Amino acid sequence: MNFEYSETQQMVAVSAKEFAEQHIRPNVMIWDEAQTFPVELFKKAGEMGFMGVLVPEIYGGSGLGYHEYIAIIEEISKVDPSIGLSVAAHNSLCTNHILSFGNEEQKQRWLPKLATAEFIGAWGLTEHNTGSDAGGMNTTAVKDGDNWILNGAKNFITHGKSGDVAVVITRTGEKGDSHGMTAFVVEMGMPGFTSGKKEDKLGMRASETAEMIFDNCKVSDANRLGEVGDGFIQSMKVLDGGRISIGALSLGTAKGAYEAALKYSKERVQFGKPICEFQGISFKLADMATEIEAAELLLHKAAFMKNKGEKVTKIGAMAKMYASELCVRAANEAVQIHGGYGFTKDFPVEKFYRDAKLCTIGEGTTEIQKIVIAKNILK
């Protein structure tokens, strides 16, 4: 097994790091305080190939694999996890759903615009009363000739307000029936499709989260992804890959917090020496560094399997669960190492602390990951 980054992976990581330092770092707290979703930044990311990482070059994408994808999300998230979250959601959910399950005409229609960020993508599964219980959704699609009429609402949707195109999962059968849901591509501006409340969040504040509302929204059957009734099955497969990207987001967040804590511990002097020389601090750093290595190995194993076309349901859940719980621990310890300063906005760790928690919730909570893992090991 080769643990070295390929030349392409190294180039991609350096490119993402330079992009984050130049275009993101100067604005991190400005965007966070104002809850600004910086659309123009994502246009720049599109020019760099970061918004269509997994999309083949024939559709205008970068044509890269999951190792490179992890490197991009990780480097961006080390600077600002909220921007990493939006890049991840655009790539792994909306864009990847169309790439994986769209027909050739649909891929030609939407992928080039998504891959370049001419279009920002959203993905709608979650609803107000159905978080982990996605099968109980209330948003419906009813056939009307060559069209479908959508009614209902989705919430906690990344880019639900500013997105140009959304993949929306609707109920076309009975509640709870895993073959009773269907996916459609809906474009902003279609009559009956509007955005609702934008969430005021604890963290990840530069990544927009909002409602999507459908009121007799007429969608052509040409916008249907795959067969009628396949929407839920498609979504679970999309989330398998999506969990690798949230794992990468978690890894970047953990590394950002750890690196800030390591730097501070070398500079902060107490009792005549840097605090990193005290065992109480050095052991915290040792634990963080070890767990980061473990999470990285787990993620890249999942990426290796995904690139080979193997099933990643179990390993993806493991990687996402471990990395997300790690990033919460790492951010917590980073604040502790900073002491009182860690509780102020003068240092970056308070933001990592706020941002980290979402990683254990989005794209399947830690508890859902344990259910997925248990089902797979007990088969």
- Catalytic positions: 363
Q: What are phi and psi of 45, to 5 degrees?
A: -60, -35
Q: Which amino acid does the sequence have at 224?
A: R
Ramachandran bin of 175, using left for φ above 0, alpha for ψ from -120 to 50, beta for the remaining angles: beta
- The answer to whether 292 and 326 are in contact (CB under 8 A) is yes
Question: Could you tell me which of 375, 253, 372 has the C-alpha nearest to residue 316?
Answer: 372
Whether 52 and 113 have beta carbons less than 8 Å apart is answered as no
- CA of 110: how far to CAs of 88, 91, 118, 187, in Å? 18, 13, 10, 10
The CA-CA-CA angle for residues 206, 20, 249, to 5°, reads 60
Q: What angle do CA 361, 366, 369 make, to 5 degrees?
A: 120
Q: What CA dihedral angle connects 105, 211, 92 and 218, to 10 degrees? A: -10
DSSP letters, 113-134, are: HHHTTSS-EEEE--BTTBSS-G
How far is the C-alpha of 21 from the C-alpha of 80, rounded, in Å?
Answer: 10
